[in-house]
Amino acid sequence: MSNMWSQAKDNVFNLLVIGDKRNRAVRITDNILIVLIVVSTVIVIGDTFNSAPPQYRTFSTVAEPVITITFTVEYILRLWVANKDKGRLRFVFSPMAIVDLVAILPFYIGLIFPVSITALRVLRVLRLVRLLRIGRYTKALDVVTYVLKRKVGQLVASFAVIGLLLIVASTLMYVAEQGSLKDPFTNALSGLYWAMITITTVGYGDFVPVTIAGRIIAVFVALLGVGLVAVPTGIISSGFTEYATQSERGKTGRGSSRHPTSFATDDRIARLTLSSRARARVISRRQQAKFGTKASGAS
């Protein structure tokens, strides 16, 4: 019985945590969960239409509990096998586990506690958090995560420069616009919104400099913004180019034949294999010590 329980736990761990795409059961499970996430998102959006037909209301009433219960079972199973990977406490406070919990809690809160219409709407909108779960089951989002991790240092540096420009532009505009009749820049940081809109070349027009100096500063900020906003885009684009090059080398055999995003899965498989071997060695040693003790007692 203990061996069957342990085997079942290993199967659930391989299915939900390791998620090796070469396993057919993993692919089927992931596809089912992706469909449920998409259907749940459609329900959240459809619930905002007051003119929805009665057939949709019936479908929504039936489908939402089924989807939530399915995600609840998945969360419980992940919590059950978490001690085979990072531990249950670390799992509960991990980002994806928090997303899982936030995705299912609104249903139970609205079911158990009496809430107002406004609070109920907020809880329903919170179900859109389930969209963040889809990254677990698709390789495409793994690619985005892989690229962002590789380029995180450069992205942080570029955003730091943009933040510095925002503060400088806001302060200069505050100084330049002092004394004008229509002065929306009441302090050194009140122009941050204007600076962001100008740097991103959106230009809503609700904050407009009226002095000559202010307009000159606005021109320079707009020109700098064109170049600075392109920097993060270029960094991310280069990351995708590097990824595509590595994948192409793997296909043609000129480099590593491994998919770049497969290493995380392989690491988990390796850790599981090592932990299984370690447990086997401990059991073997205990058995040897037990039999050795019996042999010495018999002699």
Residue 48: CATH number of its domain:
1.20.120.350
Residue 145 maps to a domain = no
Domain at 200, CATH number: 1.10.287.70
Q: What is the mean pLDDT of the chain?
A: 78
pLDDT of 281: 56
Tell me, yes or no, whether 133 and 213 share the same domain: no
Same domain? For 280 and 247 the reply is no
Residue 37 lies in a domain: yes
Q: What is the mean pLDDT of residues 80-87?
A: 82
Last residue within a domain, chosen from 233, 252, 271: 252
How many domains does the chain fold into?
3
Q: Is the pLDDT of residue 80 over 70?
A: yes
pLDDT tens profile 99-158 = 888 888 888 887 887 766 666 667 667 777 777 777 667 777 778 888 888 899 999 998
The predicted model gives 226-237 an average pLDDT of 86
Please give the pLDDT value at position 94: 86
Residue 108 domain-assigned?
yes
CA contacts within 13 A on the Cβ side of 297? 6
Residue 82 lies in a domain: yes
pLDDT at 208 over 50: yes
pLDDT of 210 strictly over 80: yes
Tens-digit pLDDT profile for residues 2-41? 678 888 888 888 888 877 778 888 889 888 988 988 898 8
Q: What band does 295 get if pLDDT is binned at 50, 70 and 90?
A: very low
Q: Tell me: pLDDT of 52 over 90.
A: no
User: Could you tell me if residue 185 is inside a domain?
Assistant: yes
Give the pLDDT band of residue 284 (cuts 50, 70, 90). Answer: low
Q: What is the pTM of this model?
A: 0.61
My answer on whether 80 and 49 are in the same domain is yes
Choose the final residue of a domain: 88, 108, 137.
137
Cβ-based neighbour number of residue 202 at 10 Å:
10
Taking each helix axis from N to C terminus, what angle separates 212-252 and 139-150, rounded to the nearest 10 degrees?
A: 120
Nearest to 176 by CA among 134, 220, 209: 209
43 and 161 in a common domain: no
d(CA 238, CA 222): 25
Same domain, 113 and 181: no
Task: Evaluate whether residue 144 is within a structural domain.
Answer: no
Which candidate, 164, 173, 147, places its Cα nearest to that of 235? 147
The answer as to whether 146 is a domain residue is no
What integer pLDDT is reported at residue 294 of this predicted model?
Answer: 46
Same domain, 241 and 128: no
* 117 and 167 inside one domain: no
% of the chain at pLDDT higher than 70: 77
Please state at what angle helix 152-176 crosses helix 212-252, rounded to 10 degrees: 170
Q: What is the pLDDT of residues 185-200, one digit of tens each?
A: 778 787 888 888 888 8
Residue 147 lies in a domain: no
Are 32 and 131 part of one and the same domain? yes
Q: Tell whether 24 and 97 lie within a shared domain.
A: yes
For residue 178, give every residue at least 6 positions away whose Cβ sits within 8 Å of its Cβ, in sequence order, or none.
Answer: none
Which pLDDT value is given to residue 148? Answer: 86
pLDDT in the model for residue 156: 92
Q: Report percent pLDDT > 90 for the chain.
A: 6
Same domain, 116 and 12: yes
Q: How confident is the model at residue 256 (pLDDT cuts 50, 70, 90)?
A: very low
Q: Residue 73 has what pLDDT?
A: 93
Residue 86 φ then ψ, to 5°: -115, -5
Q: Give the model's pLDDT for residue 69.
A: 93
Same domain, 236 and 275: no
pLDDT at residue 117, rounded to an integer: 61
Give the range of the structural domain holding residue 277, as residue numbers without chain letter: 260-298
Query: Same structural domain for residues 41 and 94?
Result: yes
Domain termination site, one of 108, 137, 166: 137
